[in-house]
Homo-oligomer: A and B are copies of this chain.
């Protein structure tokens, strides 16, 4: 028996909220403590984010699939997993959850609720980075989706841990997270002007990987019901 839509949407909201609170909050903490050593700050930010993804996917995956990312929800809808009529609710919950996550991080660090970022992230290298980051993320999700196990949580957490470092953009790979990070003038921020190109690169990369895997794994759509984590049955895991 599938979990009801309000419950699944709440899970997407909460999961994205906690994900963004981790990305933004750990960036603030890391920058405050690292006394100018950016590599050390990014390492702490990376470890916190990768670990949060493992925990959040294991937690919310059995309820809503733990997409936590509009690219994943759209790709899943393309493959026939998430019904198109439920997709807007998923995306709205992710966007709203992300923004609340930024605000929560700011509250926890005594900052104004919202502040527009001045962190410039533009140019072809950034586009290539976001395309690659999201292409790889969807490869991981589709590649692991057949195994129907909780291992996908570890695969995604590990992948993002790597992607923070192998891309020059530090791998946002998620439109909801990108918008939320535009509202934080801190370590993890992104200038609002640069957001549209990031989101475009993310959707192009994610759809490219989805089309490639449609060929690579002929019966791909049969596992689309269970992206990111199996959540059709109450038994879970």
Query: Which residues of A are in contact with B by a Cβ distance under 8 Å?
Result: 7, 10-11, 14, 18, 21-22, 24-26, 29-30, 33-35, 37-52, 54-55, 58-60, 62-63, 104-105, 107-110, 123-125, 128-129, 132, 136, 139-140, 143-144, 146-159, 161-162, 164-169, 215-217, 219, 234-237
| B11 engages A216 (CB within 8 Å) | yes
- Please, which residues of chain B bring their CB within 8 A of the CB of A148? 237
With both chains docked as a complex, state the minimum distance between the C-beta of A72 and any C-beta of chain B, in angstroms. Answer: 15
> In the complex, what distance in Å separates the CA atom of A62 from the CA atom of B147?
8
Number of copies: 4
A25 to B51, CA, bound (A): 21
B107 engages A55 (CB within 8 Å): no
The answer to whether A236 and B147 touch across the interface, beta carbons within 8 angstroms, is yes
CB within 8 Å for A216 and B147 given contacts A54-B155, A125-B110 = no
Is there contact, CB below 8 Å, between B7 and A55? no
Q: Is the CB of B108 within 8 A of A129?
A: yes
Q: List 18 A-B contacts (CB under 8 A).
A: A10-B216, A25-B167, A34-B37, A35-B39, A37-B40, A39-B41, A48-B165, A51-B162, A58-B143, A58-B155, A60-B143, A104-B132, A107-B124, A108-B166, A108-B169, A146-B234, A154-B154, A157-B158
